[in-house]
Amino acid sequence: MAVTKRQTQYTPEFRAEAVKLVVVQGLSLHEAAERLKISKGTLGYWVTMARKSTAPSAAAAGGLKKV
């Protein structure tokens, strides 16, 4: 008989607060994941996705020339 692992679903609010612990408050992934009792890999993925979604665009970074 195969054992299946149940996937936990987290609310967007929980994810945002978890990311803030790392990005804003400066906790390490290890510390924040331990506090929240979630996997370091999961939290790392959320942080990476959050950083990508807030990365400045080429235009905002000065990538467009003035005509």
* 0.95 surpassed by pTM: no
More confident residue, 54 or 9: 9
Whether residue 41 is contained in a domain is answered as: yes
Token pair 């978890």 is found at: 18
Task: Give me the sign of the Cα torsion angle 31, 34, 17, 55.
Answer: positive
Is residue 19, in this structure, part of any structural domain at all? yes
In a domain, 37, yes or no: yes
- Determine, yes or no, domain membership for 31: yes
- Number of domains the chain contains: 1
Residue % of the chain over a pLDDT of 70: 81
pLDDT level of residue 65 (50, 70, 90 thresholds) = low
Residue 66 in any domain: the answer is no
pLDDT > 90? residue 42: yes
The whole domain housing 40 covers 12-52
Residue 32 CB neighbours (<10 A): 23
Residue 34 included in any domain: yes
User: Is 61 inside a domain boundary?
Assistant: no
| Residue 33 domain-assigned (yes or no) | yes
Mean pLDDT of 39-65: 80
User: Would you say residue 21 has pLDDT above 60?
Assistant: yes
